[in-house]
Amino acid sequence: MAFATGLVGDVFRDALVAAVLAAVTDSYDWTDESGSGSLAVGLGTPPAAVLDAGADALSVGEVESNLVAATLGPQRAMDEQLTATLRLNVGVPGGAEAEKTASDRAIGYVRQVEAYLRFVDPYVGGTVQRAFVSQALIVSDAYTDPNTILGRLCELQVTVSAWQRSERTP
């Protein structure tokens, strides 16, 4: 897993987890052993206990940070452009008819996150000047696991873009 190396990348990553938890009703932090809900949220790969419980999982993964010159002159500011990758997994037991249920639920989660970032907290807890969902890639497929019944899995990879301007650089 790649980590942000910029000025606010790591803080943004942690704040993005908090924003997703606030955005999605019935979600919980998977590091909270007493947590419950329909969507487990956290950093990196979901723990086996979350996956074994059959919960939907949203992981905040890599954050890429690029620093670029924003202005010219002796009081030069820098822009930090951030791109965070969120991975969402929704599994629904059943045959082909379950695919729509899985994808509808996954898209519903993303819509909640998108609305939260657009209208409630576009600054992600004050870590950036603006954040928004910039891309979503959906992949639906059947899954078979000898320990579970047949079902459909919807995987969504969501890109959240953000930027922050530093005051000045020497």
pLDDT at 149: 57
* 55 in any annotated domain: yes
Residue 106, domain extent: 9-69+76-165
For residue 2, is it within any domain? no
Average pLDDT over residues 151-162: 90
Find the CATH number of the domain harbouring 110: 3.30.70
What are the tens digits of pLDDT across the range 67-99? 887 667 666 677 889 999 999 999 888 777 788
Q: What is the Cα 2 distance to its own chain's centre?
A: 14
Is the residue at 152 inside a domain?
A: yes
Helices (H), 24-155: 48-52, 98-115
- The answer to whether residue 160 sits within a structural domain is yes
Q: And the tokens for 88? A: 């969402």
pLDDT bracket for residue 143 (50, 70, 90): low
pLDDT at 58 (0 to 100)? 94
Is there a domain that residue 1 lies in? no
- Name residue, tokens 């045959």: 95
CA dist., res. 86 & res. 170, Å (int): 34
- pLDDT band, very low/low/confident/very high, at 2 (cuts 50, 70, 90): very low
Cα–Cα distance measured from residue 41 to residue 95, given in angstroms and rounded to the nearest whole number: 27
Beta bridge partners of 29: 41
The per-residue pLDDT for 1 is: 37
Domain count, the chain: 1
Q: Around 18, how many Cα atoms within 13 Å sit in the side-chain half-sphere?
A: 14
For residue 168, the number of C-alpha atoms closer than 13 Å in the C-beta half-sphere is 6
pLDDT band at 126 (very low <50, low <70, confident <90, very high): very high
The answer to the question of residue 3 being in a domain is: no
CA 40/CA 29 separation, integer angstroms: 6
Average pLDDT over residues 12-24: 94
Phi, psi of 32 (to 5 degrees): -85, 105
Does 157 fall in a domain?
yes
Q: Is residue 39 part of a domain?
A: yes
